[in-house]
């Protein structure tokens, strides 16, 4: 069984989405739900793997129990892409005595407004450089974890009362674990956010936008070379080790942390949460993630891409388990 690929009619857009650098638009699906279609970018006439990277990351997050925006593979006008569910709305039913049409008996209610991390950080610190997106050394793990610990509630998440996920910061540690596993290099301050609601307060938005991961931008030729080379720097492990996050250790640092070191930094701040998410990662060991990768249609994700993603997850998983002194 493979994941379905939804065909989005070219006349579907209801509004454009100006945020970010990718072509995208909002659409309303048959059930009234709102989704964002994002085109997979093209290099030398070939679509990159941004679509499958988003789908694989979403399914891995679900497996780990991390709140995540649902993602489906899609095409529009013959061009590859994916659709991401609008997590700022929720479905509610209402009784109607005048119609039996289920679409008219239900609707999607706004939960609140999505405020991206840069905007939220600038409220706390007016000097925060919210207009810059990349190379923002003020975007530190300490700053974000501190903010989420003190002013933001948990997103909806199924937890046992004994589990140590008590704050939004604890949930965000899980987001960083996911980033470490998939080698996500794009968790900048517009790629996480808070859903602000006058009625329900501020809640951490489910994780979203994971396209810059798992080697999705490489051609099959490069992937095959990296899979077979004896050059350690060019190998899968070497590629994974060079990944850079959008988080910094200190505000004046010149280089960002790796995704694994960003998680380790958060683990020092929220150790019980880090142990919880690492234990959960054991449940998604190789067999589970390979099943997720194998369900991506071959027309979307080639065999070299699948093998590379599998081995990159393995390399990051093993490095993550080495850990450091981050247990309570």
Instruction: Give alpha helix (H) positions in the chain.
Output: 50-64, 117-124, 141-151, 168-182, 220-228, 236-241, 259-269, 271-282, 286-294, 303-322
Which has more pLDDT, 95 or 121? Answer: 121
Q: What's the pLDDT at 156?
A: 75
Across-strand partners of 233?
none
Q: What is the mean pLDDT of the chain?
A: 89
Asked which of 25-34, 129-138, 269-278 is least confident by mean pLDDT, the reply is 25-34
CA angle, residues 141, 174, 34, in degrees to nearest 5: 105
pLDDT, average across residues 139-153? 94
Determine the average pLDDT of the residues in 266-282: 92
| Average pLDDT estimate for 20-28 | 81
Percent over 70 (pLDDT), the chain: 89
Residue 160 has what pLDDT?
Answer: 61
| Cβ–Cβ < 8 Å for 313, 21 | no
**Would you say residue 78 has pLDDT above 80?**
yes
pLDDT at 47: 84
Residues 216-235, mean pLDDT to the nearest whole number: 95
Kindly tell me if the per-residue pLDDT of 255 is higher than 60: yes
Average pLDDT over residues 94-101: 46
Tokens of 27: 């659409």
Strand-pairing partners, residue 7, are 75
Is the pLDDT at 59 greater than 90, yes or no? yes
Stated as kind and residue range, the H or E segment containing 93 is: strand 89-93
Phi, psi of 165 (to 5 degrees): -95, 100
Domains of the chain plus CATH, in order, are: 5-91+111-322 (1.10.1070.20)
């Amino acid at each position: 069984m493979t994941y379905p690929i939804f065909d989005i009619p070219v006349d579907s857009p209801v509004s454009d989405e100006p945020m970010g650098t990718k072509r995208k638009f909002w659409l309303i699906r048959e059930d009234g739900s709102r989704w964002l279609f994002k085109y997979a970018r093209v290099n030398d006439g070939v679509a990159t793997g941004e679509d499958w990277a988003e789908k694989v990351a979403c399914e891995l997050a679900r497996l780990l129990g991390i709140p995540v925006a649902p993602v489906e593979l899609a095409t529009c006008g013959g061009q590859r892409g994916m659709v991401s569910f609008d997590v700022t709305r929720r479905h509610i039913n209402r009784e109607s005595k005048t119609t039996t049409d289920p679409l008219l008996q239900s609707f999607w209610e706004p939960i609140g407004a999505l405020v991206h991390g840069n905007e939220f950080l600038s409220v706390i610190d007016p000097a925060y450089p919210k207009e810059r997106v990349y190379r923002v050394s003020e975007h530190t793990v300490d700053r974000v974890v501190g903010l989420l610990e003190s002013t933001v509630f948990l997103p909806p998440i199924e937890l046992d009362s004994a589990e140590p996920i008590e704050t939004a910061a604890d949930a965000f540690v899980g987001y960083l674990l996911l980033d470490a596993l998939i080698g996500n290099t794009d968790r900048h301050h517009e790629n996480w956010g808070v859903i602000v609601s006058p009625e329900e307060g501020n809640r951490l938005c489910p994780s979203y936008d994971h396209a810059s991961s798992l080697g999705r931008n490489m051609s099959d030729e490069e992937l095959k070379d990296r899979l077979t080379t004896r050059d350690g720097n060019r190998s899968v492990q070497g590629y994974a080790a060079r990944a850079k996050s959008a988080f910094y250790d200190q505000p004046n640092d010149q280089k960002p942390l790796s995704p694994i070191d960003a998680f380790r930094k958060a683990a020092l701040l929220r150790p019980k949460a880090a142990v919880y998410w690492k234990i959960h990662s054991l449940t998604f060991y190789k067999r589970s993630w390979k099943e997720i990768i194998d369900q991506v249609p071959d027309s979307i994700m080639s065999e070299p891409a699948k093998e590379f993603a599998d081995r990159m997850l393995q390399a990051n998983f093993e490095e993550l388990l080495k850990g450091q002194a981050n247990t309570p």
